[in-house]
Amino acid sequence: MCSYVIETKRLTKKYGEQTAVNAVNIHVEKGRIYGLLGRNGAGKTTIMKMILGLTPVTSGEIDVLGQNIKGREKRVYPRIGAIIETPGFYPNLTGTENLEIFAKLRGTAAPNAVKNALDIVGLPYRDKKLFSKYSLGMKQRLGIANAILHDPELLILDEPTNGLDPIGIAVVRDFIKDLSTERGKTILISSHILSEIALLADDVGIIDHGVLLEENSMETLKRKNSKYILLQVSDIPKTSLVLERQFGVTDYSVQDDHSLRIYNTSLDMAAVNKALVVQDVAVISSQLCNDTLEDYFKKITGGEGIA
């Protein structure tokens, strides 16, 4: 009955007195990219660590791939690939040697898995360079390669583009998208960069101070925040009729008893106003709104927002 790949139920984490994650219910659907968006210290990493069993859960439950995670770690974790914060590798080994160690420990990886994974992230195979001499971006790429080594169904990526240059970010973004669209992977990704999530995610969870403020599809979120005409009128049903019959407008949404949003901003509002008056509908106000996602994010987190 539940088709979620990850579902948390009132997931809570306390570090002493501080509640880092507060009764969070997230729902990650199969084959989609779920973006966990929040500012520094919002609790993104902590949620991911709890899903991966790296830190104990204070209360609440986690279901992954259709089963409650508790006691089934051995069966569930091999189906997940993850990077948490900056990836850790052995500094005295090369990238290839590092991946070979992880591949051996996993035991499930295909024979040429290491080479494939390195190819995907654009790192050379059997290069002599030691991990300790890697740049931040190379380290991050190696981390991603390690996460996809065993072809997992679910990827949990904590700020995977951290430290990458703009071109690197675009490359990683493209192949994360490919993993989802072409290979049907489910991906949970966190970021504090709104534009990144906006470009990548199908669904978004906005988290602030450990509380999940909103969970919605990107489509809905974008729609909520695109350009629209906010129309406040005395009679919504009559207005709807006028809009549909006389102007052929179907792309609008009703906000409450007295206001609706029209997403076709090129509509001749003077004509609409006239038509409404004819129908005995009082037009209280009509204004063009242009909220960006960022404005929205600021509004719901009640803070200064994020870049």
Partner 1 sequence: MTIIFTEILKWKRNKTVWGIFILTAILGVFAVERACNISRSSPLMDSFGDLYTLAFKNLTSLFLPIVLGMFATTLFFDEQKNDTLKGLLIIPVSKAQLYFSKIAVVILMSLGLCLFTFVICIVGGLIAGGFTDLNTETILQAGLLFLAGGALIPVAMLPIIFLATLSKGYILPIGAVLLYLVPVVLVPSQLMGLHPLASVMGIYPHISPAAIEMANSWTGNAVITASPMTCSVSLLAIGIISIIVSVIVLQKKTF
Ligand X SMILES: Nc1ncnc2c1ncn2[C@@H]1O[C@H](COP(=O)(O)OP(=O)(O)OP(=O)(O)O)[C@@H](O)[C@H]1O
Dig out the tokens for 211 from the structure: 């509380």
Among 41-49, 57-65, 76-84, 294-302, the segment contacting ligand X (CB under 6 A): 41-49
Q: Which residue's CB is nearer to Mg ion, number 45 or number 96?
A: 45
Say whether residue 45 binds Mg ion (CB under 5 A): yes
Contact with ligand X (CB under 6 A): which of 6, 22, 43, 134?
43
90 lines the binding site for partner 1 (CB under 8 A): yes
Measured from the CB atom, the residue of 59 and 255 that comes closer to ligand X is 59
Pick the stretch among 42-50, 123-131, 213-221, 272-280 that binds Mg ion (CB under 5 A). 42-50
128 binds partner 1 (CB under 8 A): no
Candidates 48-56, 111-119, 160-168, 289-297: pick the segment binding partner 1 (CB under 8 A): 48-56
- Binding at 15: pick from Mg ion, partner 1, ligand X, none (beta carbon under 5-8 Å per type): ligand X
Q: Which is nearer to partner 1, 107 or 111 (CB)?
A: 107
Ranges within 7-36 binding ligand X (CB under 6 A) = 15, 20
Q: Least distance (Å) from partner 1 to the CB of residue 59?
A: 16
Interaction between residue 55 and partner 1 (CB under 8 A): yes
Query: Does residue 41 touch ligand X according to CB under 6 A?
Result: yes
Say whether residue 250 binds partner 1 (CB under 8 A). no
213's CB contacts (< 8 A; 6+ apart) are 206, 207, 300, 301
Binding mask 170-209 for ligand X (x = CB under 6 A): ----------------------x-----------------
Q: Total residues contacting ligand X (rule CB under 6 A)?
A: 11
Q: Report whether 148 contacts 179 (CB < 8 A).
A: yes
The answer to the question of residue 90 lying near ligand X (CB under 6 A) is no
- DSSP for the chain reads ---EEEEEEEEEEEETTEEEEEEE--EEETT-EEEEE--TTSSHHHHHHHHTTSS--SEEEEEETTEE-TT-HHHHGGGEEEE-SS----TTSBHHHHHHHHHHHH--S-TTHHHHHHHHHT--TT---BGGG--HHHHHHHHHHHHHTT--SEEEEESTTTT--HHHHHHHHHHHHHHHHTT--EEEEEES-HHHHHHH-SEEEEEETTEEEEEEEHHHHHHHTSEEEEEEES-HHHHHHHHHHHH----EEE-SSSEEEE--TTS-HHHHHHHHHHTT--EEEEEEEE--HHHHHHHHHTS----
Q: Is 38 in the site for ligand X (CB under 6 A)?
A: yes
| List of residues contacting ligand X (CB under 6 A) | 15, 20, 38, 40-46, 192
| List of residues contacting Mg ion (CB under 5 A) | 45
